[in-house]
Structure 1
Amino acid sequence: MSGIGDFTVRAADGTPVAMAAYAGRVLLVVNTASKCGFTPQYDGLEALHRRYAAQGLTVMGFPCNQFGAQEPGDAAEIANFCSLTYDVTFPVMAKVEVNGDGADPLFGWLKREAPGLLGTKAIKWNFTKFLVDRSGKVVGRYAPTTKPEDLARDIEGLL
């Protein structure tokens, strides 16, 4: 695989979504959870999406229940939570695994393209963020502790 456009993921309702549909856009791909200490980052992610969408940014949330079982809900519950609690308008996709044998292929690729601290590939927790440029290349990986607003300069540099 040469770029993010080579992957197909699932929308919250289970329908396939070709990542090629986002060709030419800057993407911020985040594994999310509704019951995590970092969950308030939904506010910051939504703010980035609203601020930069017209310039070519798409934030994409991928719910994941692998860290402390902090995303136990089904797709409808997750969508309801994101909408009612954080007024999320960016795409929130189907729940995925990001580590292990069942890891979604997109996240396997993201981890290979942008290893973590000391070259580790595993995602350590919810709200790990991957920034992808307009050509589909991963240009950054950010820890869960990195606040979305701290990514503004990097995003602006790609728009």
Structure 2
Amino acid sequence: MKKIAIIAISILAFSCKNQEESLKNMEEPAAQISTNMEGQSIYQFKVKDIEGNDFDFSKLKGKKIMVVNTASECGLTPQYEDLQSLYTEYKGKNFVIVGFPANNFEQQEPGTNKEIATFCTKNYGVTFPMMSKISVQGDDQHPLYQFLTQKDKNGLEDNTIRWNFQKYLINESGHLDKVIAPQILPTDEVIINWIKA
């Protein structure tokens, strides 16, 4: 009888231990998923710059970043001047602008990367980093812009790119902080205050 009782207790203890381990194993992936979601940042992206070289966002850790989709034949194209002015003033203060030419809005960026680079330099003296032309919306939306526009990726909000020169403000941890409408100038006090904060 004693032997049966000992065996029963052993089986019960073993089954409880297995159940505990199963529960623990179920908890761990959930915690891991939650951590991964919080850990999504712009630093995971590598893109090509306008010259075709690799550009790794992880090299911008600790800086505030403005990501902006640009176009050469848009009513808002003169914003290049304000973007350059902003970059010149704050580039030494842990701030960088990264421009992405895109042809998504009424074909207002039809040029090649080389043509775009020449246009930006010649007309606006652009020295902030410009990337290769990409798609910022639609079926061929670049993964970086999926991150910027989808809450499940950026952790802040779902948003739509309304036009050329929409601005995304990324904090020093690589997370999306604010989305600024295209018509708001790069020199607006909302942006200046964010840079200085």
TM-score clears 0.5 = yes
C-alpha RMSD of matched pairs (Å): 1.2
Amino acid at match of 1:95: K
Question: Which of the numbers 101, 105, 111 marks the counterpart of 1:73?
Answer: 111
Once the two structures are TM-superposed, the CA of residue 23 in structure 1 deviates from its matched residue by 1.0
| Equivalent in the alignment of 1:4 | 42
* Equivalent position of 1:48 in the other structure: 86
Match of residue 156 from structure 1: 196
Which residue is 1:24 aligned to? 62
Q: CA deviation at 1:122?
A: 2.5
Once the two structures are superposed, what CA deviation does each residue of 1:11-67 show, in whole Å capped at 9, x if it has no partner? 112232111011111100000000000000001111110110001110011000010
- Structure 2: runs of 5 or more not aligned: 1-38
Alpha-carbon distance between aligned partners in 2 of 1:94 and 1:75, rounded to the nearest angstrom = 6
Q: SS of 1:72's equivalent?
A: coil
Distance 1:136 1:55 in 2: 16
Task: Read off the aligned partner of 1:106 and give its amino acid letter.
Answer: L
Instruction: Write the distance in 1 (CA, Å) between the matches of 2:180 and 2:75.
Output: 16
Aligned residue number for residue 87 of structure 1: 125
Question: How high is the TM-score relative to the length of structure 1?
Answer: 0.92
Q: Indicate the SS of the match to 1:148.
A: coil
Higher helix share: 2
Q: Deviation at 1:100? A: 1.3
Instruction: Find the counterpart in structure 1 of residue 141 from structure 2.
Output: 103
Number of residue pairs matched? 153
AA matched with 1:48:
L
Counterpart secondary structure, 2:148: helix
SS of match in other structure, 2:118: helix
Task: Give the ranges of 4+ consecutive aligned residues of structure 1 lying more than 2 Å apart after TM superposition.
Answer: 13-16
Find the counterpart in structure 1 of residue 23 from structure 2. none
Q: Which moved more, 1:14-23 or 1:47-56?
A: 14-23
**Secondary structure of 2:178 counterpart:** strand
The secondary structure found in structure 2 opposite 1:48 is helix
2:72 match: 34
Find the aligned partners of 2:142 and 2:59 in 1 and give their Cα distance: 18
